[in-house]
Amino acid sequence: MNEITRLAKNAELTSIQRVWAYTRGAQLVARSERTRAVELLESALAEAHRISQGDQDRARALTAVAAGFVNLDEVRAWEILNEAVKAANGAEKFTGEDSRIVSMLRTPQMVVFQNATASDFDLLAAFRPLAKNDLFRAIQIAKTFTGEAPRAVATLAIARSVLEKREPATASTNTP
């Protein structure tokens, strides 16, 4: 855990890579060190704010931070989700499901690019658990997306959370 924090602070990483490191670190310690997890998420939030307005990475980063706060501080998660929506509305190409981390290794002999998925950057990661806690609030926030794609992704995430809630009840009624 300390190594992740050290790398996030000192390594030559982009802001989105730092956000990913901090949010993943927070996930690792959320159950055992709640205070430390909140500190890591606050560091991720500060890093997300360094990403320029209009950059879709800002919306992705804020989404990941909101998702990280869901089980630690729900009020804070809602606040940050609102920020993520504003950032998404300012980023033309943001779809809400195009999560990715791009890394590059450069040596004198070669340059290597790697793309990896980071599901925490998807709207699904934040909207599903928050919709389970407050369905109507999630619906209202989803309506504020100006882009058709992120609004659709958020709506589908909300619908999925509703369906997941009802599955156990349906299963028990079918039992003889």
| Inter-residue contact 82 to 36 (CB < 8 Å) | no
Q: Provide φ and ψ at 119, rounded to 5°.
A: -60, -20
Q: What is the distance, to the nearest Å, from the Cα of residue 90 to the centroid of all Cα atoms in its chain? A: 17
Q: Residue 75: is its pLDDT beyond 90?
A: yes
State pLDDT tens for residues 2-44. Answer: 666 666 666 678 899 899 999 999 999 999 999 999 999 999 9
Count of Cβ atoms closer than 10 Å to residue 173 Cβ: 7
Residue 37, domain extent: 2-174
Contact of 130 with 77, CB cutoff 8 Å: yes
> Could you tell me the two tokens for 140?
């209202």
Q: Which residues contact 121 (CB under 8 A, 6 or more apart)?
A: 20, 60, 61, 63, 64, 99, 100, 101
pLDDT at 142: 96
Total domains, the chain: 1
pLDDT 10s digits, 127-153: 999 999 999 999 999 999 999 999 999
Among the residues of 32-144, which ranges form H helices? Answer: 34-50, 56-69, 74-89, 123-133, 135-143
Count of C-beta atoms within a 10 Å radius of residue 5: 16
Q: Which helix (H) or strand (E) holds 133?
A: helix 123-133
Average pLDDT in the chain: 86
- pLDDT tier at 119, thresholds 50, 70, 90: confident
pTM for the model? 0.83
pLDDT-derived band at 108, boundaries 50, 70, 90: confident
The yes-or-no verdict on residue 172 having pLDDT over 50 is no
pLDDT tens profile 46-72: 999 999 999 999 999 999 999 999 999
User: What is the model's pLDDT at position 169?
Assistant: 46
- Identity of the residue numbered 43: S
